[in-house]
Amino acid sequence: MPSMLKSGINQPGELYDAIVHYYRGQIAVGDSADVVVTGYQDFVPAAAGARQVLVEVGKAKGGARQNDGRIAQLFDCTLYGVISKSSAGAALQAMNLASALACHLPDNSFGWSASAVKSPEDIELAESFLIGASKQHNGFEAWQVSWTQQLNLGAPQYEDDPPVTGIWLAMNPADSTDESEYSEVTGQCLTDSLPT
Mean pLDDT over all residues of the chain? Answer: 86
Check whether 17 has a pLDDT greater than 90.
Answer: yes
Per-residue pLDDT, averaged over 4-22, amounts to: 93
User: Positive or negative CA dihedral for 35, 38, 41, 42?
Assistant: negative
pLDDT, residue 139, reads 82
Domain 12-153 fold is: STM4215-like (3.30.2000)
Cite the DSSP H helix spans in the chain: 12-29, 90-102, 187-193
> Does an H or E element contain 38, and which?
strand 36-39
pTM: 0.76
**Domain chopping of the chain, boundaries:** 12-153, 163-196
pLDDT tens digits, one per residue of 68-105? 889 999 999 999 999 998 999 999 999 999 999 999 99
